[in-house]
Amino acid sequence: MLHRLVLLLLAGSALLTSCNNDLDVTADFERVPIVYGVIDPKSDTQYVRVGRSYLGVDGPVGGLNHPDSLYYPNLVVELKAFGPAGALIFTETYTETTDIPKDAGLFTGLGHRVYRMVRPGFSKNPSRTDYTYEITLREAPGSDVLAKAVTPCVDSIRLKQPSYFGIQKMSIASKNGYSLQWNQTKNARIYQGYVDFHYMEMPMANSADSVHKVIRYALPFITGGSLAGGTSIVSTNIDYQSFYNFLKNSIPAAPAGTIRWFRGMDLYLSAGSDALATYISVSQPSNSINQDPPFYTNITGGAGIFGSKSHIFKPYLGLSTVSLDSLGNSVLTCSLQFGRASAGDTCACGPQRTWDRCL
């Protein structure tokens, strides 16, 4: 879960907006709390990462020899949930955890400072997406608020096509491709996802020597038109040319005597709150001469982002008969040698791009 959180959060950089947090990012040796966190309505466990940054003459690696200066030793992290009328629903305290591994690189000596909050039953509470969530940071118990942020909670995603239930086959090779559709999600502004394409690879002479492989087809970022949710549809299209070109470029031509078998696809789709959408959108590479991104944060008294995201996972998607035939015989994918079983034979694409190479 944290991995997907980091992928979303690291995609952004910053944007100067109307959010005034009275933060002077150029002040020498100013201690700045850096916050990365989301509220996930599908989990009883919530995470937030908090560090601190110093600006000074030593530059971005100035604290390399003193990694303890990157953290607050006695930090108090608290989450409050407020109802639609502003009434306090609950207060929970995050506790520091070291159970999340940290990637290799600078400042790895002290581990990964992540804070975790567990509220049993949260993911089953039907009112959770009606609440507003406020996170506050204090340097020590009883001290003044160091930084804070507020976010609504993104609702669960409701798939329309493919249906979440039953066996679903995607007609990507049809004239108009395949349209992924879902209902507009309450409190969500941005949508992102991917499709994992699974296949088996094996020597024709030894089917027992098979290897499972997977490649990932990224779906585009989509900005929703409303935060209200409801029955309006958001969609993205997977068309023949882009998808089969992706397969051609991502899977090497099959070595002699090798055959491959399609083994299904998995769909993952996530929805992010308005603040996350802004944070991510400004991180896109600049096409101008000025490469310095503008600054955005919704952390009052700090930097970073505190938002909400939800996700849905639909495994075991198939391909329609026409799409499977194109996988095996199209001009784009013939050399990949995806096979099919026919009358007891194992067949693959031959010189005429038909199922004419059978054993």
In a domain, 274, yes or no: no
Task: In whole angstroms, give the CA distance from residue 290 to residue 299.
Answer: 26
DSSP state for residue 24 in the 8-state scheme:
-
Query: Would you write out the chain's pLDDT as a tens digit for each of its 359 residues?
Result: 434 443 333 333 333 333 444 545 454 556 789 999 999 999 999 999 998 876 555 544 555 555 556 788 899 999 999 999 999 999 999 999 877 766 665 544 555 579 999 999 999 999 999 999 999 999 999 999 999 999 999 999 999 999 888 789 999 999 899 999 999 999 999 999 999 999 999 987 776 788 999 999 999 999 988 899 888 889 999 999 999 999 999 999 998 888 999 999 999 999 999 999 998 887 766 666 666 667 789 999 999 999 999 999 999 999 999 999 999 988 999 999 998 766 566 777 876 555 455 55
Signed CA dihedral, 328, 329, 331, 335: sign only: positive
In a domain, 120, yes or no: yes
The answer on 192 and 340 residing in a single domain is: yes
The answer on 7 and 110 residing in a single domain is: yes
pLDDT of residue 165: 83
Question: What is the count of structural domains for the chain?
Answer: 2
In a domain, 314, yes or no: no
The answer on 336 and 239 residing in a single domain is: yes
The answer on 263 and 345 residing in a single domain is: yes
**CATH of residue 149:** 2.60.40.10
The answer on 142 and 10 residing in a single domain is: yes
CB 113 within 8 A of CB 94: no
The answer on 208 and 334 residing in a single domain is: yes
The answer on 294 and 236 residing in a single domain is: no
pTM to 2 decimal places:
0.80
Structure token digits, residue 334 = 């013939």
The answer on 176 and 101 residing in a single domain is: no
In a domain, 277, yes or no: no
CB 107 within 8 A of CB 65: no
What residue has token string 């400042």?
A: 107
pLDDT of residue 10: 37
pLDDT of residue 73: 87
The answer on 88 and 22 residing in a single domain is: yes
Coil, strand or helix: which one is 310? strand
In a domain, 276, yes or no: no
pLDDT of residue 30: 63
In a domain, 275, yes or no: no
The answer on 164 and 20 residing in a single domain is: no
Query: What residue numbers bound the domain in which 350 lies?
Result: 159-269+320-358
The answer on 335 and 261 residing in a single domain is: yes
Q: Which of 216, 170, 215 is nearest to 324 (CA)?
A: 170
The answer on 353 and 222 residing in a single domain is: yes
In a domain, 196, yes or no: yes
